[in-house]
Amino acid sequence: MAKIIPTGPYHPILEEPEFFKFHVEGETITRIDMTIGYSHRGIELLSESKTWDQVTFLVERICGICSFSHPYAYCLAVENLCCIEVPDRAKYIRAIIAELERLHSHLLWMGLAGHFIGYNTVFMWVWKYREIVLDSLEMTTGNRNHYANIKPGGVRRDFEDYMIPQLEKWMDELEPKLEMLVNVVMDDPVLHARLKGVGVLTYQQAIDYCATGPTARGSGVDIDNRRDFPFDAYPLLDWDVITMNEGDVFAKTAVRLLENIESLKIIRQSLKKMKPGPIEVEIKEVPPGEAIGVYEAPRGETIHYIRSDGSNMPIRHKVRAPSYMNILTNEVSCVGAALADGGLITAAHDPCYSCTERMAAVRREDPDNVINSKELARLSREKTKEIAGEYPGNDVIKDQEGK
């Protein structure tokens, strides 16, 4: 077994290479440098040597949190190229699994954001409620993540009869918990003081940087691919798009919490409207041409572009995840904020978990003194405690510190 000794430039102080580097003057952030590419695996080249069905399993593993969004956008692209429409039962099954995944992703973000600002109880409670969603996914598809249930032309596995009343029971159990989360966040004065006015992204900046998803909807840009480019079951159901106007971290949090309630509505309507029938359409061959598939993932817009020359493998497959455009908005929303808020702002547009771990701050007067991400997290929690001290009668904080 060969061992390799690492060579080349490597910073001796930090354990992790920098991902976000804040330039600060005093306590205010003046600039941010970003380096990405640590998870670059070369998936687009692998797609060119796999058949149309096999690519679905490959794109599922681009990201584990939105593991249904990428195959869904890819299957929409192939179905657009072949000009076919899936049967009704498949449309409702896809909608149910997609909205369950949106619930799981938003609850995951809530827990991590709570952990970062020091509300550890929120982290534990929210991840406990998330287990109900993962149980529903395991019962219907067989796995907690990486469902492998969608394919071009329909779905691979049907719902059995015993699943529908069990799903309805679990959704009834989840609803009061989601409403409790909405009320807790909207009414807590400490969270208002901590999150309002922090990391503002204006309407014009959101348009210039082409932001998507809750990042754009929190700044007043009214876009949602499920309503604008209608596909599958979404035009047949009744639900709303949530927007807020302020553009700060509080607005983005509120958009995600209210979207949970809308997802619950979609799941309940789909369970009622589903009728027995076929679940797939067979695709004999894919004609030459090019097509695009767009889907609204929990973080924003996912877009897949495919080009075919008539054979059984694609010749070009382009993937774009939503965080690609949203991370760039950090350039403008972090400037002018306090150092203790820097980590929170970069996490507010919900990048993948492994990205938010890598943060560092550099003081302009003292460039050799680098503050790493553990220190930034500690600064953030101390700021919350300071704000909480101004509200002595706050029962929420007392209960949480006691637990």
Residue 184: CB minimum distance to other proteins, A: 18
Residue 38: CB minimum distance to other proteins, A: 5
Residue 93: CB minimum distance to other proteins, A: 22
* Cβ distance to other proteins smaller for residue 250 or 305: 305
Rounded distance between C-alpha atoms, residue 123 and residue 129, angstroms: 10
Helix, coil or strand: residue 140: helix
* Cβ distance to other proteins smaller for residue 38 or 203: 38
74 near 320, Cβ under 8 Å?
A: no
Residues in contact with 396: Cβ distance below 8 Å, sequence separation at least 6, in sequence order: 184, 188, 190
Q: From 15-23, 91-99, 170-178, 253-261, give the range in contact with other proteins by CB under 8 A.
A: 15-23
* Cβ distance to other proteins smaller for residue 316 or 385: 316
* Cβ distance to other proteins smaller for residue 226 or 252: 226
The verdict on 51 binding other proteins (CB under 8 A) reads yes
Rounded distance between C-alpha atoms, residue 293 and residue 50, angstroms: 19
What's at 159, amino acid-wise?
F
Q: Residues 25, 30, 61, 386: which binds other proteins (CB under 8 A)? A: 61
Q: Residues 42, 392, 393, 402: which binds other proteins (CB under 8 A)? A: 42
* Cβ distance to other proteins smaller for residue 374 or 385: 374
Residue 272: CB minimum distance to other proteins, A: 27
Q: From 86-94, 184-192, 206-214, 386-394, give the range in contact with other proteins by CB under 8 A.
A: 206-214
Residue 52: CB minimum distance to other proteins, A: 10
Helix, coil or strand: residue 14: coil
The verdict on 394 binding other proteins (CB under 8 A) reads no
Q: Partners of 300 in the beta sheet? A: 297
Structure tokens at 71: 């195959």
3-state SS of 179-192 is HHHHHHHHHCHHHH
The verdict on 403 binding other proteins (CB under 8 A) reads no
The verdict on 17 binding other proteins (CB under 8 A) reads yes
The verdict on 313 binding other proteins (CB under 8 A) reads yes
Burial class (CB within 10 angstroms; exposed 0-12, middle 13-18, buried 19+) of 103: buried
* Cβ distance to other proteins smaller for residue 28 or 354: 354
Binding footprint of other proteins, residue count (CB under 8 A): 78
Rounded distance between C-alpha atoms, residue 130 and residue 223, angstroms: 27
Rounded distance between C-alpha atoms, residue 388 and residue 260, angstroms: 28
Residues 79-108 interacting with other proteins (rule: CB under 8 A) = 80-83, 108
The verdict on 316 binding other proteins (CB under 8 A) reads yes
Residue 271: CB minimum distance to other proteins, A: 25
Q: Residues 291, 334, 347, 360: which binds other proteins (CB under 8 A)? A: 291
Residue with tokens 């699943």: 163
Q: Residues 353, 370, 381, 394: which binds other proteins (CB under 8 A)? A: 353
The verdict on 23 binding other proteins (CB under 8 A) reads no
Residue 179: CB minimum distance to other proteins, A: 20
Q: Residues 240, 312, 382, 398: which binds other proteins (CB under 8 A)? A: 312
Residue 401: CB minimum distance to other proteins, A: 18
Residues 141-160 interacting with other proteins (rule: CB under 8 A) = 144-146
Rounded distance between C-alpha atoms, residue 223 and residue 333, angstroms: 20
The verdict on 370 binding other proteins (CB under 8 A) reads no
The verdict on 16 binding other proteins (CB under 8 A) reads yes
Rounded distance between C-alpha atoms, residue 320 and residue 301, angstroms: 9
46 near 259, Cβ under 8 Å?
A: no
Structure tokens at 70: 């990428």
Residue with tokens 């009869």: 161
The closest alpha carbon to 37, from 293, 327, 331, belongs to 327
Residue 86: CB minimum distance to other proteins, A: 14
380 near 343, Cβ under 8 Å?
A: yes
Residue 80: CB minimum distance to other proteins, A: 4
Give, for 177, the enclosing helix (H) or strand (E).
Answer: helix 163-187
Burial class (CB within 10 angstroms; exposed 0-12, middle 13-18, buried 19+) of 10: exposed
Structure tokens at 331: 């350039």
Structure tokens at 25: 């003057």
Residues 244-283 interacting with other proteins (rule: CB under 8 A) = none
